[in-house]
Structure 1
Amino acid sequence: MPTRSADTPVTLDRRDGPFGEVVLRERGEHYEIIANGCFLMDTSDGRSERLLIDAALDALPAGRTGPSVLIGGLGVGFSLVRAAEEGRWGRIVVAEREQAIIGWHRDGPLARISGAALADPRASILHTDLVAHLRTTTERYDALCLDIDNGPDWTVTEDNGSLYSPTGLAHCHDRLTPGGVLAIWSAQPSPAFEQALRNAGFSGVGAEEVAVARGVPDVVHLASKGL
Structure 2
Amino acid sequence: MHATYENLDRTGTKAAPSEEPVVLDRRDGPYGEVVLRRHGDLLQIIANGVFLMDTSDGRSERLLVDAARDALPEDRGEPSVLIGGLGVGFSLVHAAADGRWGRIDVVEREQAIIEWHQNGPLHDISGEALDDERTRIIQADLVAYIHGGNERYDALCLDIDNGPDWTVTEGNHSLYSPQGLEACREMLNSGGILAIWSAQPSVDFEESLRNAGFSNVRTEEIPVVRGVPDVVHLAIRAA
Point out the more displaced range, 174-183 or 148-157.
148-157
Structure 2 partner of 1:49: 61
| 1:123-134 → structure 2 map (5 Å cutoff) | 123-134=135-146
Instruction: Kindly provide the CA deviation profile for residues 143-194 of structure 1, in whole angstroms up to 9, marking residues without a partner as x.
Output: 0000111212222311111101000000000000000000011111122111
SS of equivalent residue, structure 2 residue 145: helix
Match of 2:4 in 1: none
Q: What's the secondary structure of 2:184's corresponding residue?
A: helix
**Residue 36 of structure 1, CA deviation:** 1.8
Q: Give the counterpart of 1:189 among 201, 217, 221.
A: 201
Please state if 1:72 is matched with 2:78: no
Q: What is the TM-score normalised by the length of structure 2?
A: 0.90
| Unaligned residue ranges in structure 2 (runs of 5+) | 1-15
**Residue matched to 1:161:** 173
Greater CA drift, 42-51 or 208-217: 208-217
Equivalent of 1:207, from 207, 211, 219?
219
Counterpart-to-counterpart distance in 1, 2:89 and 2:26: 18
Q: What 5-or-longer segments of structure 1 have no aligned partner? A: none
The equivalent residue for 2:192 is 180
* Equivalent-residue separation in structure 2 for 1:146 and 1:154 (angstroms): 15
Note if contact 2:149-2:186 (Cα within 8 Å) is conserved in structure 1: no
- Residue aligning to 1:145: 157
In the TM superposition, residue 118 of structure 1 has moved relative to its aligned partner by 0.2
Structure 1 residue 212 displacement after superposition = 1.0
**Distance in structure 2 (CA, Å) of the matches to 1:136 and 1:70:** 14
Contact between 1:131 and 1:160, CA under 8 Å: does it hold in 2?
yes
Distance, in Å, in 2 between the alignment partners of 1:22 and 1:193 is: 30
Question: Which amino acid is 2:207 matched to?
Answer: Q
- Letter of the 1:183 counterpart: A
- Structure 1 counterpart of 2:152, which letter? R
RMSD of equivalent CA atoms = 1.2
The answer to whether residue 120 in structure 2 is matched with residue 112 in structure 1 is no
Residue 122 of structure 1 aligns with an amino acid whose one-letter code is: R
Q: Name the amino acid aligned to 1:6.
A: P
Equivalent position to 1:98, from 81, 95, 110: 110
Q: Any residues of structure 2 matched to 1:22-61 within 5 Å, and which?
A: 22-61=34-73
Kindly tell me the number of residue pairs found equivalent between the two proteins.
Answer: 223
- What is the percentage of aligned positions where both structures have the same residue? 70
Aligned 8 A contact 1:11 1:25 in 2: yes
Structure 2: distance between partners of 1:37 and 1:128: 22
Q: TM-score, normalised by structure 1?
A: 0.95
Q: How far did 1:59 drift? A: 0.3
